[in-house]
Structure 1
């Protein structure tokens, strides 16, 4: 009998497009090229000092040199429960929290716990590149529900209804959105939540950008907006984006006790506990003030306005104003047509080769014809990168 060297399950997984672009940009910069990267969704700020100091103290404490409970340090789970009520308006017990190695582990474990082979997940599109891969790895079937720039990248209940089948088990809900920065209003969020509840669906909601909204647009948790969902909601979150802690690798999932217990069993065989030092740092972040978060938000807001205005000056580019996260998602179909370029992937490749600017093509997040630009980089680099884009695309 002949066996595949790589299992079909793992061999079918696509590389993370955002990390691939970021790695290529960093390699080119290391080689001396003046590359400016709009690729990775990573704040350019250092982790706030008080969080770093908490980690330093934790590293010196022998208690943190040993295994700790798989679902997380009790103090951190308690703090996350408090934070979930404060920021999402959703009351939970600490026992309903599972601390994970970054948000990605929370995403995968949520789907792995909820899905059986063939179960379908409705995924509003454009989507973060990891969502459909996690669904497939868990044995599920991702079903894309596309909303373009003409809809502000916001799907409607009518679109979700049209995509519903007898195999649909889960709706993924993401607001603010990666990659588009779109934010659902409280009314839209409740409408979608009520629809999901009426169909008996689970909702998995990624709230990792909840503290990054602009123009007075509020963040609304679907769990509190539609309590009719009952115990069929799982919230995903983490410290990476809010506190500039992407490298610390601390995320979490919140859900009903049976789901959290099952996911904890999975994690006990996969990674066990998250690094105790990182958990202590996350505790300082979650239980601490939001002053540093607000200061970063002011900088992101300034960059958001600058990049959107500059992109919309380019002939053939349509960039809706993002009201959350730190991404611009311009529709570049007009540029492709004008320049005779077949796809946004080809356009992104030309941009990197000819003007040394790294962007992520729309194919990573759904249909071609779009680019994602993270504006979580320094003001000077942003201005120079946009100038190069304007010069090349015009």
Structure 2
């Protein structure tokens, strides 16, 4: 069977592939602790569940909506952008998508032509690179610094498109207003378009979140901002988000979305509207903070890993370079021997690190998974020492 050249050299995302392996093992009766992905143990917010239940009872027939999303939903999302992000936007500048991945694909498709260059900071969400490659774009990978400075940006050339993840997966970095102002000045000077992924805007433990679009003429520059209910509202399986973009970009994204999926499901749009109206998930974040702090304490005395407390997000980013740079091998052996799944840093562009999602299951399972990782790593150290003798 012929497979097109467009897809033949591509591979499934490492993040989803590892989660799929966990599901296969579990279906075979294996007990596996899955830190490879972040699936919240919280349900969707109660107002979301109530609104969807009421819509099912009230409407019975679920209508198609406009491809870009129902007008009343987009109008309320525009109000959210004004209230929470200090961004003035109209309903015609918003498109509801089946999750952030669809918004990313459509935005890149609409803003680029084959062989355009895309700047991506690493470690990175794997979908940024995979989507760019599917579209025939040339990726420029740069190390994410502790601080974005004009000098750093000037050394990155003149990419056609810049992808920013704020807050950042997996490090938890939250861009400061000053850093975003440096980015704004730079992209204005070089004429780059920008995609800003703000899917984790509410998952911040320290400080606040600033949207790049609030600091610039986003219509003139060509800034697309992606939002998702998945992590901010524990709605991973609902597969719904939205994008803010200049009206002509929204129209282009709609042209692509129409023949692929048409609109997001009616009930998902009901859920999206209500979720973003509930504001910051404070109770959930208090729980996440406790889990984050517990995990960091449990790793604190382990000599072969450096685990800082992230400023945001559902992940820990552990430095195991003193142990190994081959974290693919580390993750494979850990899954085989201890039945714990983590994401190797290679999948996110940086060997020598592992990513752990710490928000799934109960606290006892979190403790047990970390105990197994430490036990495995200690044995790894002992084997290395024995090999040197």
TM-score normalized with structure 1 length: 0.91
Per-residue CA deviations over 1:155-208 (Å, capped at 9, x if unaligned) read 55434332314xx21111111111221112221122122212221111110001
- SS for the counterpart of 1:184 is coil
Residue 118 (structure 2) aligns with: 121
Do the aligned residues in 1 keep the contact of 2:191 with 2:221 (CA within 8 Å)?
Answer: no
- SS for the counterpart of 1:90 is coil
State how far apart, in whole Å, the 1-side matches of 2:121 and 2:5 are: 26
CA-based RMSD of the aligned residues comes to 1.8
Taking a change above 3 Å as real, the CA distance of residues 328 and 386 of structure 1, as seen in their structure-2 partners, is: same
State how far apart, in whole Å, the 1-side matches of 2:4 and 2:337 are: 38
Do the aligned residues in 2 keep the contact of 1:35 with 1:356 (CA within 8 Å)?
Answer: yes
**Are residue 379 (structure 1) and residue 367 (structure 2) matched?**
no
State how far apart, in whole Å, the 1-side matches of 2:229 and 2:299 are: 30
TM-superposed CA distance for 1:363, in Å, is 1.0
Do the aligned residues in 2 keep the contact of 1:214 with 1:323 (CA within 8 Å)?
Answer: yes
Candidates 88, 96, 112, aligned match of 1:91: 88
Of 32-41 and 350-359, deviating more is 32-41
**Are residue 162 (structure 1) and residue 152 (structure 2) matched?**
no
Do the aligned residues in 2 keep the contact of 1:197 with 1:228 (CA within 8 Å)?
Answer: no
Of 60-69 and 127-136, deviating more is 60-69
State how far apart, in whole Å, the 1-side matches of 2:52 and 2:215 are: 35
State how far apart, in whole Å, the 1-side matches of 2:245 and 2:352 are: 36
**Are residue 290 (structure 1) and residue 279 (structure 2) matched?**
yes
Matches within 5 A, 1:328-343: 328-336=316-324, 343=326
TM-superposed CA distance for 1:60, in Å, is 3.5
Alignment gaps of 5+ in structure 1: 337-341
Do the aligned residues in 2 keep the contact of 1:194 with 1:226 (CA within 8 Å)?
Answer: no
- SS for the counterpart of 2:230 is coil
TM-superposed CA distance for 1:41, in Å, is 2.2
Residue 110 (structure 1) aligns with: 107
Residue 289 (structure 2) aligns with: 301
State how far apart, in whole Å, the 1-side matches of 2:153 and 2:7 are: 29
TM-superposed CA distance for 1:248, in Å, is 1.0
State how far apart, in whole Å, the 1-side matches of 2:149 and 2:25 are: 41
Do the aligned residues in 2 keep the contact of 1:58 with 1:64 (CA within 8 Å)?
Answer: no
TM-superposed CA distance for 1:315, in Å, is 1.5
Candidates 50, 54, 72, aligned match of 1:53: 50
Candidates 155, 169, 176, aligned match of 2:167: 176
TM-score normalized with structure 2 length: 0.92
State how far apart, in whole Å, the 1-side matches of 2:300 and 2:188 are: 39
Q: How many residues align?
A: 377
State how far apart, in whole Å, the 1-side matches of 2:327 and 2:148 are: 22
Residue 142 (structure 1) aligns with: 139
State how far apart, in whole Å, the 2-side matches of 1:10 and 1:42 are: 28
Alignment gaps of 5+ in structure 2: 379-389
